[in-house]
Structure 1
Amino acid sequence: MTDYLISDIYHRFKNHLSILVSLFQLQSRRTDNEQLLDILTISQLRTLCIAIIYETAQKSKNYTEISLKEYIPKITKAIIATYNAKVKTLINVEDIYLDFDKTVTVALIITELISNIIKHAFPKRSDGTISLTIRIIKNEHIELSIKDNGIGIPKNINLKDIKTLGLNLVKDLTEQQLEGSLDIKIANGTYFIIKFNTKN
């Protein structure tokens, strides 16, 4: 299959996903139900992040691997804009390439965590900061860390009880799709650390 045909296919996929994003946006404007609005917003973001993967691949003409250094700032900006959040973001991503499937998984994890931070970490504040770092730590091992300077998790919450934190999907994606590990720490906010092997 020629690069032209592959590019055309990716372009069509991106357009189809963009239509879905628009539909989620329309539905969001028509409801006052907070729970439904939350579901529609996160669904919109998940779809948008995958659409941006196709867009990134098409523009770079690399259809097997995605540059995280190029891609991650795009989705972070999209998430912040969708929530109209007044937070500062500090992004540091090394020059790392991942295959398409792993990039989708990483994107979904980032979407869940940043969405969670925006909704819960900065009540009555407009000066919050979210730091996101992706780096190679040992040969083929990658560490994704996301930290906020928000209110942190209440001390009476068991950090090992992911269900209590509403992070079931993050845990499942990390362990089942990336075959990695998720660690949560409290340090002037909340600190999420995900480690995985690129070759799994």
Structure 2
Amino acid sequence: MSRSGSGDETHESGGVDQRIAELERANKDLEGKIAEQERVEGELTALLREKEILLHEVHHRVKNNMQVISSLLKIQSGYVGDAAVREMFEECQNRILAMSLVHEKLYKSQDIASVDFKEYIKTLLHDVFWSYGYGFGTGRIKLKMNIKDVSFGVNDAMSCGLIINELVSNSLKHAFPDGRSGEVSVSLRSTGKDKFELVVSDDGVGMSQHLDFRSVETLGMHLIILMAEDQLRGAIELDTTGGTNFKVMFEG
């Protein structure tokens, strides 16, 4: 009897040892898989960081190149005697700077995929007002800005920026003649899920109520319609009651 009991104990002991060995092998395999996963995750993190650095550098270089182009236009305009032609150079400068500013904001941002639209437009309007010889909404032409806290991708931000640049520039040039005082207003609000309404208006002398703005043959108006309808895939309306009020509805 004692020999039989000893054999059972030996058999059970051998089974336990085998199970322990199996668990140790399984644990070793698991540790190896965890180490491999950590290695892969580390490589992906490094690649992502490298991509972010490269994209920041791209935005930085694009911004610098655009500013060089703007500077060249400014220098060239100094050799132009015709005031109308010189004004065209200045308008092109503002358009380039509006696009350059998007890349500058992305370069300085932690998020390289989207632009803080409120901050972008605030800086853009500051530059536009100063380019026409006005303080930042502190002179005879006041500025009212009501921009929703929202981030847009590069294309939507740039399209909206160009529209705002053109319309505000038009207001500053034409809406307040002979030293007239007034207000320019820029607003952006949400009208639903991923739907927005951009409004640029002034209380100046206004445009003719019978004018079809689509028939105005200027680069600025053509650019506004192109950005609103083709780039933003939206709709644009004009209300000339009590001044000039352009409204752009689009999905962001």
User: What is the TM-score normalised by the length of structure 1?
Assistant: 0.91
Unaligned runs of 5+ in 1: none
Deviations 1:65-113 (A, max 9, x none): 1111111111111111111134221111111111101111111111111
Q: Does 1:196 align with 2:250?
A: yes
Contact residue 3 and residue 61 of structure 1 kept, 8 A: no
Unaligned runs of 5+ in 2: 1-49
Matches within 5 A, 1:154-165: 154-155=208-209, 157-158=210-211, 160-164=212-216
Contact residue 105 and residue 120 of structure 2 kept, 8 A: yes
Look up the match of 2:29.
none
Look up the match of 1:142.
196
Matches within 5 A, 1:46-125: 46-85=95-134, 86=139, 87-125=141-179
1: CA distance, partners of 2:54 / 2:216: 47
Please tell me the residue identity of whatever aligns with 1:60. Answer: S
Contact residue 7 and residue 61 of structure 1 kept, 8 A: no
Q: More relative contact order in 1 or in 2 (CA 8 Å, sep 6+)?
A: 1
2: CA distance, partners of 1:61 / 1:89: 29
1:20, distance to aligned residue in structure 2 (A): 1.2
More strand by share: 1
Deviations 1:127-165 (A, max 9, x none): 22110001111111110001101001124x33x342237
1: CA distance, partners of 2:74 / 2:213: 33
Contact residue 116 and residue 150 of structure 2 kept, 8 A: yes
Please tell me the residue identity of whatever aligns with 1:111. Answer: N
1:5, distance to aligned residue in structure 2 (A): 2.4
2:216 match: secondary structure:
helix
1: CA distance, partners of 2:113 / 2:159: 15
Give aligned pairs, total. 196
Residue in structure 2 matching 1:19, options 68, 93, 97: 68
1:126, distance to aligned residue in structure 2 (A): 4.9
More helix by share: 2
2:96 match: secondary structure:
helix
User: What is the TM-score normalised by the length of structure 2?
Assistant: 0.73
Identity percentage of aligned residues: 27
1:168, distance to aligned residue in structure 2 (A): 2.2
Contact residue 228 and residue 234 of structure 2 kept, 8 A: yes
Contact residue 208 and residue 240 of structure 2 kept, 8 A: no
CA RMSD of aligned residues (A): 1.6
